[in-house]
Amino acid sequence: MTHGATLGRFYGVGLGPGDPELITLKAARIIGEADVIAYHAGVNKPSYARTIAADLIADGVLEEELRYPVTTGRTDHPGGYVGALADFYEESAARIAAHLDAGRTVALLAEGDPLFYGSYMYMHDRLSGRYPTEVVPGLPAFAAATAATASPLVRQTDVLTVLPGTLPESELARRLADTDGAIIMKLGRTFPAVRRALAASGRLGHALYVERASHPQQRWMPVADVDETSVPYLSLIVVNGDSLNGRRTRTPVGQLQVSITTPAAKAAELLVVGLGPGPDGWLTPEAAVALADVEHVVGYGPYVARVPQREGLQRHASGNTVEVDRARFALDLAARGERVAVVSGGDAGVFGMAAAVFEAAEDDRYTHVPIRVLPGVSAVQAVAARAGAPIGADFAVVSLSDRLKPWSVIETRLRAIAEADLVLAIYNPASRSRPDQIAVARKVLLEHRCADTVVVVGRDVGRAEESLHVTTLGELDTDTIDMKCLLLVGAAATRVTPAGRVWTPRWVQ
């Protein structure tokens, strides 16, 4: 039917995991009333979505089969796999739009839930802003899978994480180690790497493989027993929450507590490890060997995330303002005889965890715990190397954070450094809670330094978003500075080469 100039309504209809009896009453009604039924189909395959809803589709209704041109990365399209799919989605959206412009109601069928790893989303992105749109939720496949295994997924304070099996193996292992319950989607060819990630995270023992959940051909078994050569796309993995299995591989943020009831016969050595500013190549061989041998890694969440997950490794991440608490936690573990590494970005001894560990270790309970600090490449070294040789002569390092010292002390030190004509490295130059301190610091420095003093601003050095900007103290735009930056303020002798390289002579004139 048509409605003149009235636009048609677009529905994204969730069908559930496969059993037609799991289709909601609302979804069934909309399918039965729609003018057009649309559905995706794989290459040389019937549409699974249409198969689920077949008995609800009225005779003679208009149908739009949206058949993918490719379902793997191999294609002759000039834009490659991504380009082929982008063109397909545009063409599919145009076909649906033609019906909506004619006033027809279109129901696009989606397995599971339309907004959960579904193809419907790509049509939603292109059409929902132009046409009246409604999404009808459907039962996701993982809900049917957990019902099939008849074992609770998460309970009480367990955390559930849904992961695509297409993640890099190391990243998948890390995320599995850092959660309680997990669902792993998108298997098929990814299954061997997924199983290795489960083993590395210590989760393989209670991971269940579920194939074709809610189908007559449904089956499930331990992941360890699966023949990896026969895993279909319509499969997933259920990892039950740790509270169900009587163990926990991680310590949640804010719960860094260990109770020592019986001291170990001999405390283990506590390692404090600098990870470098970011790239794997900047992790020292010594640190890599140490991290491969410990049983526990303790630290600020983003730094713990950089340590590769492996079987037997327990990870304990926390926020960035509880340094002494996590130092005590690590010392308690070491006192029990556990092999522990406390990790820091850059060098652990430069505004890192090393000082916090020694502060906590002043407690008499830890006098028997040996502590060893392993050096790392510091952020100031990384930025200086990118710039050239700005710290080739005497230099000082200051953090502008006033969380542990008053701002008056920071100002006094800035003036002393400026008067001494030292190159200055500035850590923690600005944050959301103290955005103006870098501007005040610049004003203090300009009281003793010329406006043409060279300044290097390094942002995310060593990472994909890295940038390096050379300016002067007078031209420095402090509004662009945040916690991702490290600044190097040159001495009077610091100079810039015609090629833009910054260096400071070793001599003083």
Q: What is the pLDDT of residues 447-488, one digit of tens each?
A: 999 999 999 999 999 988 999 999 999 999 999 999 999 999
50 domain residue, yes or no: yes
Q: Are residues 368 and 384 in the same domain?
A: no
Residue 31 has pLDDT above 50, yes or no: yes
254 domain residue, yes or no: no
Reference 66, options 118, 116, 112; nearest CA is 118
Q: Are residues 30 and 132 in the same domain?
A: yes
**pLDDT tens string 345-358:** 999 999 999 999 99
Q: Are residues 235 and 274 in the same domain?
A: no
Residue 288 has pLDDT above 60, yes or no: yes
Residue 208 has pLDDT above 80, yes or no: yes
Q: Are residues 280 and 370 in the same domain?
A: yes
Q: Are residues 104 and 199 in the same domain?
A: no
5 domain residue, yes or no: no
* Cα–Cα distance list, 401 to 94, 418, 436, 458 (Å): 54, 18, 11, 18
**pLDDT tens string 329-343:** 999 999 999 999 999
**pLDDT tens string 383-403:** 999 999 999 999 999 999 998
Q: Are residues 147 and 240 in the same domain?
A: yes
Looking at residue 439, its pLDDT comes to 96
Domain count, the chain: 4
Here the CATH number for the domain that contains residue 345 is 3.40.1010.10
Reference 30, options 157, 117, 136; nearest CA is 136
Q: Are residues 154 and 106 in the same domain?
A: no
Whole-model pTM over 0.75: no
E strand map for 248-338: 270-274, 296-300, 314-318
Q: Are residues 463 and 412 in the same domain?
A: yes
**pLDDT tens string 240-283:** 986 666 555 455 444 555 554 445 558 999 999 999 998 889 99
Q: Are residues 455 and 348 in the same domain?
A: no
| Signed CA dihedral, 491, 495, 501, 504: sign only | negative
Q: Are residues 483 and 385 in the same domain?
A: yes
Rounded Cα distance, 220 and 207, in Å: 11
Looking at residue 254, its pLDDT comes to 46
Residue 372 has pLDDT above 50, yes or no: yes
**Among 374, 399, 423, residue at a domain's last position:** 374
258 domain residue, yes or no: no
Looking at residue 433, its pLDDT comes to 83
**Among 106, 138, 170, residue at a domain's last position:** 138
100 domain residue, yes or no: yes
**pLDDT tens string 129-152:** 999 999 999 999 999 999 999 988
Per-chain mean pLDDT for the chain: 92
399 domain residue, yes or no: yes
Q: Are residues 407 and 436 in the same domain?
A: yes
Rounded Cα distance, 244 and 113, in Å: 27
427 domain residue, yes or no: yes
Looking at residue 261, its pLDDT comes to 44
Q: What number is the average pLDDT over the span 424-428? A: 97
Q: How confident is the model at residue 230 (pLDDT cuts 50, 70, 90)?
A: confident
Looking at residue 253, its pLDDT comes to 42
Looking at residue 431, its pLDDT comes to 86
Domain that holds residue 41: 10-138
In order, the DSSP letters of 312-355 are T-EEEEE-TT-HHHHHHHHHHHHHTT--EEEEESB-TTSSSHHH
Here the CATH number for the domain that contains residue 176 is 3.30.950.10
Residue 2 has pLDDT above 50, yes or no: no
**pLDDT tens string 18-29:** 999 999 999 999
265 domain residue, yes or no: no
Q: What number is the average pLDDT over the span 235-241? A: 93
Looking at residue 77, its pLDDT comes to 83
Residue 162 has pLDDT above 60, yes or no: yes
Q: Are residues 134 and 192 in the same domain?
A: no
**Among 138, 162, 177, residue at a domain's last position:** 138
Q: What number is the average pLDDT over the span 221-250? A: 81
Range of weakest confidence among 3-12, 53-62, 392-401: 3-12
